[in-house]
Amino acid sequence: MNLSELRALLEQHGLQLTKSLGQNFLHDGNQLRRIVALAEVHPGDKILEVGPGLGALTSHLLAAGCEVLAIEKDTRLAAVLRERCQGKPLTIELGDAVRVLRERPPDWAGWKLVANLPYSVASPILVDLALAPTPPERMVVTVQLEVARRLAASPDTADYGLLSLLVQARFRPGEWFRIPEQSFYPPPRVVSACLRLDRRSKPVVAEAVLPVYRKLVKCAFSQRRKKMIKLLRNLWPLPVLEAFYAREALREDIRAEKVTLDQFARLAEHLAATERETDA
């Protein structure tokens, strides 16, 4: 679907785009093909697509032989998409994607997320899917460039933080590329990027430790310029924290942005074990 076809489709159905829903449709065929190639989809793959709009990406996924589950909030767009893809292996669920995904059974084994995500809900969707008991095997998403940088960030960088640690606990960031604003209609006021995230063969954080891990990293980055131990001692006993710092040879004035994913994972295990001993 090129720009002329997209505009004609909107005019044909009397559709006006809604700013509050962040409706900026990717129409550039070259960029759409790059996304599908990055996802490495195969016939029979089960694909989750959030925010399909008029189906530019959906059409490429269906043409590749995929089965697509699309979640769309705008009933007008969903009706057009259903008409355009009649007879194809496409299921459309109506509603807010965050709510719909949280109400579904959290088993995404064998699925891939391939989507130009609505930017306002991209982060919660990615965190929810990444930390599901059985996450998708791959997530290839178009997001704001700053979000892509946070998802792929390494320690001791300005972009490293809560989002980096929650998603990277289960997923390894991979290749990414920028998408020009003129590839969308209407052009967004932000720079966009498509990023690939692959599920780790072994998660860095065990399922049983995830509740403590989430609480830990959220607290550690609540005031990122403060010494991490000063923040954490509001939730855990200082001697418990000091024991871990000594074991890991961490300076007591270290800030969260300098602590690695593996160190956060080990600290979460240490705190979870301490909590179990206390409750015993």
- Given a cut of 70, whether residue 20 has pLDDT beyond it is no
The percentage of residues in the chain with a pLDDT greater than 90, rounded to a whole number, is: 87
With b for 16 or more beta-carbon neighbours within 10 A and e for fewer, the 172-201 pattern comes to ebeebeebeeebbbeebeeebbbbbbbbee
pLDDT at 23: 81
Angle at 127 between CA 125 and CA 133, to 5 degrees: 105
Q: Which CATH architecture has domain 3-199?
A: 3-Layer(aba) Sandwich (3.40)
Q: What tokens appear for 264 in the block?
A: 């956060």
Q: Where are the domains of the chain?
A: 3-199, 207-279
Query: What fold characterizes domain 207-279?
Result: Helicase, Ruva Protein; domain 3 (1.10.8)
Quote the CA–CA distance of 110 and 99 in Å, as a whole number.
Answer: 22
**Amino acid, single-letter form, for residue 52:** P
pTM for the model stands at 0.94
Q: What is the pLDDT of residues 105-144, one digit of tens each?
A: 889 999 999 999 999 999 999 999 999 999 999 999 999 9
Mean pLDDT of 208-229: 97
- Given a cut of 70, whether residue 21 has pLDDT beyond it is no
Residue 265 binned pLDDT confidence (cut-offs 50, 70, 90): very high
pLDDT at 2: 85
Residue 17 binned pLDDT confidence (cut-offs 50, 70, 90): confident
